[in-house]
Structure formats: structure tokens, C-alpha cells
Amino acid sequence: MSKIDPKLKKKLLKESQAPFKGLRRILWIAFSGSAFLGLLIMLSKIANGTELQLNNLLIQLGACIIFPTLLIFDRNKD
């Protein structure tokens, strides 16, 4: 007979199946924010008339798509 509270047991089971989920979500949020801030800075430089390399802009756009997508895929499936 287990003396562990069923709610605690369910929480511990979820944590054992997906460890470090909270840390991953924090990282995805931080990376997404950084990508969008970088894109904003690049767009302001373009508006200012500074020429940028196209591959740098494409990398920034890719980061703005990938990191929020990873955050969405990492959400709870409940």
C-alpha cells in the first residue's frame, strides 16, 4: 500500500516522464524573446538605410519561427 497522496504521485510520474520541462520552457521563452529583439534591431537598421547581409536576416527569421514553435510543441497535452 502506497502512503503517497495520489495528486503528488501523479505529479511525480509526470516529472519522471518529462524531466526539466520547466527549464526547457524558460529557455524557449528566452530564446524566442532574443530572436524577436534581434529581428526588431535588424529591421530598424534596414529602415535606417544600413545594408545587411540577406543570410543574417534569414537566420534571424528562422529563429523567430523555430523557437516559438518549439515552445508550442512543449506545452502540456492535458
Tens of pLDDT, residue by residue, the chain (78 residues): 568 888 988 888 888 887 888 899 999 999 999 999 999 999 999 999 999 899 999 999 999 999 999 999 988 665
| HSE-up of residue 10 (Cα within 13 Å, Cβ side) | 4
Report whether 49 contacts 70 (CB < 8 A). no
18-38, pLDDT tens digit by residue?
A: 788 889 999 999 999 999 999
Between CA 7 and CA 17 the distance in angstroms is 16
Indicate the pTM of the whole model.
Answer: 0.76
Burial of 67 (0-12, 13-18, 19+ CB in 10 A): buried
Between CA 43 and CA 61 the distance in angstroms is 11
